[in-house]
Amino acid sequence: MNKINLIIQREYQTRVKKKSFIVMTIVGPLLMALLFLVPILIATLQDDSLKKLLINDKSGNYKDELNALTNFKISYVSETNLDTLKSLVKKEEFDAFVSIGDSADNFAVQMYAFEPVGLNLKQEISNLVEKKVEYKNYERLGVDKAQIEAAKPNIPVKTVVWTEDGEKTSSSELNLIIGYIAAIAIYMFVFMYGVQVMRGVIEEKTNRIIEVIISSVKPFQLMAGKIIGIALVALTQFLLWVVLTFAIISIIQVFLPADMLTAQTTGNLPAGANVGNTPMSGDLGEILAAVNGFNWARLGISFLFYFLGGYLLYAAMFAAIGAAVDNETDTQQFMLPVTIPLVVAIVAAQAVVQFPEGALAQWLSIIPFTSPVIMPIRMSLTSVPFWQLGLSIGLLAATFVGMTWLAGKIYRTGILMYGKKTSYKELWKWLKYS
């Protein structure tokens, strides 16, 4: 056991001191924080300069609506000669000239400019004319548009979950996002650090370092130490990502101008609803209540187990692949069967979120090769029966033990094999060795 501990320490200390680990530990949280910051910056950096428009409204029906356009200075003209209008637009530095049709059968809108116009301007003009034409059509048909608008219902659905501690507000959208983030994080870390195990084995094998190491420890001890050591590296980086991401977002919120944050949160409020001095919309309040009511402890424990269980299962297979080949190019033929279950799990996640109680979701959350990705999604969306959770955990643990035993037999033989192209037939022979 002391030898395994030494190998774990070596793998851990060697990797956490690498520049790549330090850089990714810093860059990862920054990228996550940017996902929070970029939408706010985009909203504040939009071009709000005053646009000058020259408009020929042949019908004369759109003046009130056009004057209501924000960020536009409107001038009207009756001239129809395009050459004259062209020189006028250029002389007076208008951004564009807009021509609007003059009859019920001709509501065509044409826009002329010396440079391509922005999508926002085009969309605003289009929406304005469409709405006016819609009202005209209602008048022509003798329909009261105001009554139709008043009859349209707006019925928000508030989800409440009954628990032993009372009622808790829930949000299906929030649960979906949390489940997806957990699943993608497990997929990413399992694949990324599993490949590191494989590359580490190949590197030691090709540099003949392994021949010296094997003289002191058993192959299985070396494999176990390498897998566990890299698992601790993955956990360290993940926990640092979580802590640093929340720290960076908190710092950003402190230094951002208050109006940038309130612009994202203001809306229709219940009486007296607020968070500190910042107004809080009903939607945001419901989301925050759902966040507080979410069972973070259950998801955290299950995430940690499936994160470690999934990594240990796949890391054992990646270690066996690394021991079976002499270089990374030769790994391709063995990588496909290992990675297919992970890819299937990510693809099937779209169906699982729609039917978390369906047969597909149940089977994929129980099968050990897909359960590390699927089960956290199911647990965030619905209450998984205890027997299914227990069966999933038991099968994952048993499969890890069995796969580690099989990988150990391949590792023991393949770690000292050089210069020979390994095939599936050859691997089968190694597995049958006593």
pLDDT for res 107: 60
% of the chain exceeding 90 in pLDDT: 5
pLDDT for res 363: 92
How would you classify the pairing of strands 166-170 and 274-275? unpaired
List C-alpha distances in Å: 79 to 90, 112, 120, 390.
15, 14, 26, 79
pLDDT for res 47: 53
pLDDT for res 270: 37
% of the chain exceeding 70 in pLDDT: 74
Measured from the Cβ of residue 203, the count of other Cβ atoms closer than 10 Å reads 13
Q: What band does 174 get if pLDDT is binned at 50, 70 and 90?
A: low
The better pLDDT of the pair 364, 170 is held by 364
Rounded to the nearest 10 degrees, what angle do helices 386-414 and 219-255 cross at?
130
H helices present in 45-171, as ranges: 63-67, 82-92, 119-140, 145-151
Residue 324, pLDDT above cutoff 80:
yes
d(CA 9, CA 230): 10
d(CA 231, CA 315): 9
pLDDT for res 164: 58
Q: What band does 391 get if pLDDT is binned at 50, 70 and 90?
A: very high
pLDDT for res 271: 37
Helix (H) or strand (E) holding 430: helix 424-432
- Collapsing DSSP to helix, strand or coil, 114 comes out as coil
**Residue 159: strand pairing partners:** 170
Mean pLDDT of 217-224: 78
d(CA 111, CA 90): 14
The better pLDDT of the pair 109, 118 is held by 109
Mean pLDDT of 51-55: 78
Residue 377, pLDDT above cutoff 60:
yes
CA 55 to chain centre: 44
pLDDT for res 354: 81
pLDDT for res 277: 39
Domains and CATH numbers, the chain: 2-40+178-432 (no CATH), 51-151 (3.40.190.10)
d(CA 395, CA 392): 5
What is the 3-state secondary structure of 211-254? Answer: HHHHCCCCHHHHHHHHHHHHHHHHHHHHHHHHHHHHHHHHHHHH
Q: What band does 203 get if pLDDT is binned at 50, 70 and 90?
A: confident
pLDDT for res 57: 74
Average pLDDT in the chain: 75
pLDDT for res 221: 79
pLDDT for res 256: 60
**Residue 51: strand pairing partners:** 72
| Cβ-contact 244, 251 below 8 angstroms | no
The better pLDDT of the pair 21, 281 is held by 21
Residue 273, pLDDT above cutoff 90:
no
pLDDT in tens, 398-415: 998 888 888 888 877 777
Helix (H) or strand (E) holding 55: strand 51-57
pLDDT for res 276: 38
Counting Cα atoms < 13 Å in the Cβ hemisphere of 400 gives 23
Q: Which two tokens stand for residue 355?
A: 């039917």
Residue 267, pLDDT above cutoff 60:
no
| Cβ-contact 264, 40 below 8 angstroms | yes
pLDDT for res 172: 61
pLDDT for res 44: 59
Residue 395, pLDDT above cutoff 90:
yes
Residue 230, pLDDT above cutoff 70:
yes
Q: Select, from the ranges 174-183, 280-289, 330-339, 412-421, the one with the highest average predicted confidence (pLDDT).
A: 330-339
Mean pLDDT of 294-311: 78
- Collapsing DSSP to helix, strand or coil, 370 comes out as coil
Q: What band does 272 get if pLDDT is binned at 50, 70 and 90?
A: very low
The better pLDDT of the pair 211, 137 is held by 137
Mean pLDDT of 141-162: 72
Residue 256's Cβ-count burial label (10 Å; 0-12, 13-18, 19+) is middle
Residue 303, pLDDT above cutoff 50:
yes
pTM, two decimals, is: 0.64
d(CA 431, CA 429): 5
pLDDT for res 364: 92
